[in-house]
Amino acid sequence: MCTNIVYEWLKTLQLKQYAESFVDNGYDDLEVCKQIGDPDLDAIGVAVPHHRRRIHEAVRRLKEADETAAGLYFTLEPQP
């Protein structure tokens, strides 16, 4: 299996056993992973309830990180 960002993400969640199945089902990028719901976890084969909770919590954190970053911006124009 090749190492990618989803593998590393799952590894930090101690769920790397699902990495190949994630990639096989098209979840090869964290942007795509942010859309994961229960039907997706069923298709991927994540049946263990606490594994599902761990993934849902991690997806929530990814979305929150996006919301925080969305408020940050910069401009190259001089300030008055």
Domain boundaries, the chain: 5-72
Cα angle at 42 between 40 and 47, to 5 degrees?
130
Count CB atoms within 10 A of the CB of residue 58.
Answer: 19
Say how far apart CA 3 and CA 47 lie, in whole Å. 23
Q: What are phi and psi of 23, to 5 degrees?
A: -65, -40
pTM comes to 0.78
- State the CATH class of domain 5-72: mainly alpha
* Structure letter (DSSP) for residue 35: T
**What is the token pair recorded at 12?**
């930090």
What is the model's pLDDT at position 67? 72
When comparing pLDDT for 18 and 80, which is higher? Answer: 18
Reference 47, options 25, 5, 18; nearest CA is 18
What is the model's pLDDT at position 1? 44
User: In percent, how much of the chain has pLDDT > 70?
Assistant: 80
**Would you say residue 78 has pLDDT above 70?**
no
**33-66 confidence digits (pLDDT tens):** 999 999 999 999 999 999 999 999 999 999 988 7
